[in-house]
């Protein structure tokens, strides 16, 4: 199954820039690798990620991690 995830900060402030943006990107990659989730396409600066996940994993549990 695939899903389009969008990460939005409060009031849509652009707080994830520079080093924080890179750390966030690395964490998303680590979580996806540990949960057997494939990143199909993603734009970290805009907060959009397209992922393919196994049916045994719910989207809400993936987002919580």
The DSSP bridge partners found for residue 38 are: 52
According to the model, what pLDDT value does residue 63 have?
Answer: 85
According to the model, what pLDDT value does residue 45 have?
Answer: 60
According to the model, what pLDDT value does residue 35 have?
Answer: 92
CA distances from 33 to 13, 14, 37, 48 (A): 28, 26, 6, 18
Domains and CATH numbers, the chain: 2-64 (3.30.70.1290)
Which position has the higher pLDDT, 26 or 13? 26
Which position has the higher pLDDT, 7 or 32? 32
pLDDT in tens, 14-51: 777 788 888 888 988 899 999 999 988 876 666 778 88
Q: Are 1 and 52 in contact (CB under 8 A)?
A: yes
Query: How confident is residue 52, by pLDDT bands cut at 50, 70 and 90?
Result: very high
């Amino acid at each position: 199954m695939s899903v389009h995830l969008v990460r939005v900060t409060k009031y849509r402030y652009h707080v994830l820039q520079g080093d924080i943006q890179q750390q966030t990107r690395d964490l998303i990659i680590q979580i996806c690798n540990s949960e057997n989730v494939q990143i199909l396409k993603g734009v970290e600066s805009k907060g959009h990620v397209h992922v393919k996940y196994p049916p045994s994993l719910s989207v809400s549990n993936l987002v919580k991690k």
